[in-house]
A and B are shown apart, each in its own frame.
Chain A
Amino acid sequence: MAKTHQYCVAENWGKGFIEHSESRKIAFCGLPGNVWQVPAHNKDANLWISKVLGAVKTLTEAQAIVDAEINVAQAAWDALSDEEKSNSSRPADIILEE
């Protein structure tokens, strides 16, 4: 099956990281660990990854980064008191798609 998404790691530096002209062409999804999901086989997405000096990751690599971040957040949440837990929900696993 052809890939629908590709992944990279890039730190959002703020203004200019994603421009309006880019978001009109590319469906972005920011994920834990500075992982970004953008369309695969897409010239505009490839140009954006180059612009932000993104480190391209395979699905497996990106999933591992996201999992590590969520595991830390889950451990932190598990350590909260019951009263503190009532203020939030336990971080949920995120399953990335090809």
Chain B
Amino acid sequence: MATYKGIQGFAIQNVTSDPTTVGQVWYNSSNTVFKFYTGVTSSASWASGGNMGTARYIMGGAGTQTAGLAFGGVGLPFPSVGVVNITEEYNGTAWTGGGNMGTAMYSLGGCGLQTAGLAFGGNGTPDRNATEEYDGSSWTNGGNLNNGRNSLGGCGTQTAGLAFGGGPGEGAKTEEYDGTNWTNSSDMSDGRNALSGAGTQTAGLAIAGNGPRTACEEYNGSSWTTGGALSGGGNEYAAGFGTQTAAVTALGQPPPAGQNTTLTYDGSSWSTSANASTPRGRLASGVSSPGSAGVVFGGDNNNTAKNSTEEFTGAILATKTITTS
């Protein structure tokens, strides 16, 4: 007969605080009860959110699931709708109009919050180096990037932002923003464009990118190291949010139809999570959302711009107490 020790490699442990190893049983001497860790009690899932007023793709995103921000981008078909400077704010239920950007931009980077957002870079000839700061109602000019670029990654806040990668070509440049100026930092190991980002200026994550790629890199505030590779075929023009140790990358391309896959990162490896309902690429996210509660919006599928929003809720794990009843 199998024994607990035979399965786990140790006898039931006597502890004072609860461990989090799935399947482990222990005795909590503080509570004088036996417990076990069930792992997933509620699986990750997506639900529809409110529709944006303007369908668009390759726009910027910031904020969270209950306070999101969408700005710029392109409506399809291109160029009849063209590049927009429209900003919309999400409250967890519906989108409402915000202040227009000073300049219509697309393929730009974004980070920060709904009341303290940051937009930087964008497509152009040459690629844009401009930055705009949002205060919850209007945009003002910020300091220029040292390296103009498009389709770049971003994370962090309005006063501690991070820009990395991007075109033209497969850029590796990294810059840090202090609320006034951008400062060059160490290059990424694997230059790329069409990547997504998560985390902060001192604990950032560069996810996948053109190809599509499966590579992931972690930033510690001064340099990049290789992170776990994405499972599956990778993605480009996907949405990212969360932290360096609890990140999500969702949907994205390869083109033209996009994909609806979701992967979660625990700081070392990526795992497959719940699929979203509508495949699409070139979308944006509330990049400052935690990995347990994110939001993605817009994008395109087969060159049809989307106005739909999807909200992500991560898996919930739980500890159970063993009783005789």
Contacts and interface: CB of A to CB of B under 8 A. Distances in A.
Interface of A: 12-24, 27-30, 32, 69-70, 73, 76-77, 80, 84, 87-92, 94
Contacts of A84: 78-79
Given A15-B93, A73-B302, A87-B78, A30 B47 contact: no
Interface in B63-106: 77-79, 93-94
A12 B45 CA distance: 18
B277 A30 contact: yes
Contacts of B94: 14-15
B47 A19 contact: yes
Given A12-B48, A16-B48, A77-B77, A29 B277 contact: yes
A61 to B, nearest CB: 19
Interface of B: 42-43, 45-51, 77-79, 93-94, 255-257, 260, 274-275, 277-279, 300-304, 308-309, 311, 313
5 contacts: A20-B47, A20-B311, A22-B47, A77-B303, A88-B78
Contacts of A28: 275, 277-278
B257 A14 contact: no
A94 B278 CA distance: 14
A20 B51 contact: no
A18 B256 CA distance: 24
Contacts of A29: 260, 277-279
Given A15-B50, A73-B302, A23 B257 contact: no
Contact of B46 (A18, A69, A80, A90): A18
A73 B304 contact: yes
B257 A94 contact: yes
A16 B93 CA distance: 9
B277 A14 contact: no
A19 to B, nearest CB: 5
Contacts of B257: 92, 94
A76 B260 contact: no
B46 A20 contact: yes
A18 B48 contact: yes
B59 to A, nearest CB: 14
A88 B51 contact: no
Nearest to A22: B47
Contacts of B50: 14-15
Given A14-B309, A28-B275, 15 more contacts: A12-B48, A13-B51, A14-B51, A15-B93, A15-B94, A20-B313, A22-B47, A23-B274, A24-B42, A29-B278, A69-B304, A84-B78, A87-B78, A90-B256, A91-B302
